[in-house]
Structure formats: structure tokens, C-alpha cells
Amino acid sequence: MARHQRIVILTGAGISAESGLGTFRDKDGLWTKYDLEEVATPQGFARNPAFVHEFYNARRRNLLEARPNPAHHALARLEREHPGRVLVVTQNVDDLHEKAGSRNLIHMHGELAKVRCAACESVRVWREDLSLEHVCAECSTKGRLRPHVVWFGEMPFAMSKIELALAACDLFVSIGTSGNVYPAAGFVQQVREGGRAHTVELNLEPSEGHTLFHEQVYGPASEVVPAYVERLLGA
Ligand code: OAD
């Protein structure tokens, strides 16, 4: 395998499935049990903030117990050992990439272990349950703290940094994502239009856009990701 200088890796819920965190669109996925309009839109939060807090509190509690699996560890190892640059762009709001040791990491859909004040926009680390009773430590406003996650209809974070990395990469790897949610679902097309980079999908099953990738490997992330990283580092 040719030595790549700049690698961009997009991850989705499938990389964390074997750490016990549910995916969204698989059988038993979160969006089969909850209406995303109710729990993952600004309008849903405005209608019933207590219910939305309950939903994210439960997910935050799950996160406290979750541990990275061999796929997260393999990506952290790639960043440490690869002589070129490795950027992980994750759609996941869990913190398993950083727990495994990834440092060059963008949380484009935000982070569950942080809250943001809707009044003053300050962001802080938050590991407990969140409620309407909480007061912002920065501006003292009560009841305006919200999970620091991106809801449908909101702009993902760090898009200009991501666009630059996509334009400059020579290898793009998509892991554990169904390819349903834009803009992330469009990254492979953007990279292909640039014409320089090799593109690879590692997933349990073919995603929506699987034909856009030069190469596909299907299987559980805990197996296919370490094997792929081994191949990259051994090249
Ligand atoms: P999805 O639930 O849509 O897709 C998960 C993908 O992971 C599917 O293609 C599965 O086949 C695959 N998968 C499941 N288990 C796996 C395993 N053990 N190993 C490898 N792959 C596995 O999740 P995402 O694509 O991440 O956004 O969803 C994208 C966005 O939609 C999320 O970030 C979230 C959601 O709504 C927001 O909430 C804004």
C-alpha cells in the first residue's frame, strides 16, 4: 500500500457499537425508539426541554461506563505511529476516541460530556445529569444550559477546518457510518471530486454511498479497523 501523507478518517456510531453504545438506524437503534424531531431538533427542545434533558442524561450516564474498543485504540495507534498526518473527524458525541488516545480529533456533532449556555454560549465539561434547575457558572442564567451537541437544522462544528483537510488528504477512510446524514455523508463525494485521494469504507455492511469508495471492507469495527491499520503501518 502506498505511503499516505495526509489521512482523514470519518467515524460514526458503528465504531462505538461494540463498546455498548447504541447506533441510530440499525435494528434497535435510537431512532427506532425515539422520534428524532422530539429529541434532536431545536424545536423539540423548545417544546419539551425536560424530556430532551432526560434523553441526553441517559446517554451521558451510558457514556460514563463505556470503554474504547480495539477500533478506537487502532486509530489512536495510527496517529502515534504514522509518519504523516492523521485527522479523525467523528460524528459521535461520545468520548471514546480521546479515551483511546486520539488527539487530532474533531467532534463535528458536538460532545455529550459538555454543555453550552444558550444565553452566553459558554461551553463547559459536564458529566452529571442536566436539568432546567441548573445555572450557568459564567453568566448566572438559570435553565438555559443545553447539551453541547448538534441537532438537526444546526450547523456542524469546525466545517471550514474539515473542508481544508478533505481537500488536502490523500487517503479518506469512512468507518461505521450509514451515510444518511449530511454534510458528513457527502465527504466521500467531495474527496472523489478532488481526484487525488484513495477512499475506503470500513463498515458492518454497505452504506448508502458505498459505491463511491475505491475499496470496501465489511465486518465488525473491532476486527476490520485494527487489521486495516496494521496494513497501513506495515506498508
Ligand atoms: P447510523 O446508526 O446511521 O449508522 C451506523 C452504521 O454503523 C451502520 O451502517 C451499521 O451497519 C454500522 N455498524 C453497526 N455496528 C457496527 C460494528 N460493530 N462495526 C462496524 N460498523 C457497524 O449512525 P451514523 O452514521 O453515525 O447525528 O449516524 C450519523 C448521524 O445520525 C449521527 O451522528 C447522529 C444521527 O442522527 C445527529 O444526531 C446530528
Count of domains forming the chain: 2
Q: Are residues 192 and 232 in the same domain?
A: yes
Grid coordinates belonging to 84:
504523516
Q: Looking at residues 74-98, what average pLDDT do you find? A: 98
Q: Indicate if the pLDDT at residue 161 is higher than 80.
A: yes
Is the predicted pLDDT of residue 2 greater than 80, yes or no?
Answer: no
Q: What is the pLDDT of residues 10-68, one digit of tens each?
A: 999 999 999 999 999 999 999 999 999 999 999 999 999 999 999 999 999 999 999 99
* 212 and 194 share one domain: yes
Decide if 92 contacts 15 (C-beta within 8 A): yes
Q: What is the CATH number for 30?
A: 3.30.1600.10
pLDDT (0 to 100) of residue 3:
76
Residue 1: the pLDDT is 54
> Are 37 and 7 members of one domain?
no
Across all residues in the chain, what is the average pLDDT? 96
150 CA: nearest ligand 1 atom:
39
pLDDT at 235 over 60: yes
The range of the structural domain enclosing residue 88 comes to 1-20+68-109+155-235
CB of 206 sitting under 6 A from ligand 1: no
Q: Is the CB of 52 under 6 A from ligand 1?
A: no
Site to substitute for ligand 1 among 181, 205, 224, most atoms within 8 A of C-beta: 181
The CATH number for 215's domain is 3.40.50.1220
Helix (H, G, I), strand (E, B) or coil at 22: coil
The pTM assigned to this predicted structure is 0.97
Instruction: Give the type of residue at 213.
Output: F
- Establish whether residue 216 lines the binding site of ligand 1, counting it when its CB lies within 6 angstroms of any ligand atom: no
Q: Whose CA is nearest to atom 13 of ligand 1?
A: 14
Helices (H), the chain: 30-33, 36-39, 42-47, 49-65, 70-81, 96-100, 159-168, 187-194, 221-234
Whether residues 32 and 93 fall in one domain: no
Do 59 and 159 fall into the same domain? no
Count CB-CB contacts under 10 A for residue 47: 12
* 133 and 176, same domain (yes or no): no
The stretch 138-144 carries a mean pLDDT of: 97
> Among all residues, which ones are annotated catalytic?
109
